[in-house]
């Protein structure tokens, strides 16, 4: 299986672990790190709605806790395939922290991969760690 298909399959599997009783919109995310390790996450909602976490944030936390430092590629899966489940604005910035402009962002649904973006396409002219480096 190709890297991107494998990563999307991991994101789709992670969708099944979502805790989304309020939106009924499960989302899964899978990150390929600089060591070719895969880290997954799902959205975890909360009765106090704004406290919920997006799937991408969960996957980034899993990567960092496993020792991963860079996002080489990320896959996000959600929805019924009608509209693309592209990362929300806050998650684009979260991905930016550990990725680069050319980092592939794969978007899909339960059926599989739908579109392939680069992070630059989703978050052009972004602000990142380099801006704070001296
Ligand atoms: N959601 C994500 O997990 N990632 C995104 O990039 C878009 C939205 C979640 C948040 C919430 O639990 C549900 O999808 C509906 O917004």
Q: Is 12 exposed, middle or buried (0-12, 13-18, 19+ CB in 10 A)?
A: buried
**Residue 130: is its pLDDT beyond 90?**
yes
Give pLDDT, residue 2: 80
Three-state SS across 19-32? Answer: ECCCCCCCEEEEEE
Q: Is 25 in the pocket of ligand 1 (CB under 6 A)?
A: yes
Class of domain 3-132: alpha beta
Q: Is 26 close to ligand 1, i.e. is its CB under 6 Å away?
A: no
> Mean of the per-residue pLDDT values for the chain?
97
Name the residue at shortest CA distance from atom 2 of ligand 1.
Answer: 54
**Is it the case that residue 38 has pLDDT exceeding 90?**
yes
Q: Is the CB of 52 under 6 A from ligand 1?
A: yes
Give the nearest ligand 1 atom to 45 CA. 12
Q: What is the pLDDT of residues 43-99, one digit of tens each?
A: 999 999 999 999 999 999 999 999 999 999 999 999 999 999 999 999 999 999 999
Residues 45 and 22: beta-carbon distance below 8 Å: yes
Biggest alpha carbon distance in the chain? 45
27 CA to middle of ligand 1, Å? Answer: 6
Q: How far apart are CA 96 and CA 99, in angstroms?
A: 5
Cα–Cα nearest to 119, from 68, 67, 76, 77: 76
């Amino acid at each position: 299986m190709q890297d991107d298909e494998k990563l999307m399959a991991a994101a789709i599997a992670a969708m099944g672990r979502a805790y989304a009783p309020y939106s009924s919109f499960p989302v899964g995310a899978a990150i390929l790190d600089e060591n070719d390790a895969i880290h997954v996450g799902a959205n975890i909602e909360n009765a106090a709605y704004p406290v919920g976490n997006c799937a991408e944030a969960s996957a980034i936390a899993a990567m960092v806790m496993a020792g991963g430092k860079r996002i080489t590629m990320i896959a996000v899966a959600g929805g019924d395939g009608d509209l693309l489940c592209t990362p929300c604005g806050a998650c684009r910035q979260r991905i930016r922290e550990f990725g680069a402009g050319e980092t592939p962002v794969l978007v899909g649904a339960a059926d599989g991969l739908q579109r392939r973006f680069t992070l630059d396409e989703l978050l052009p002219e972004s602000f990142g760690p380099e801006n704070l480096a001296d």
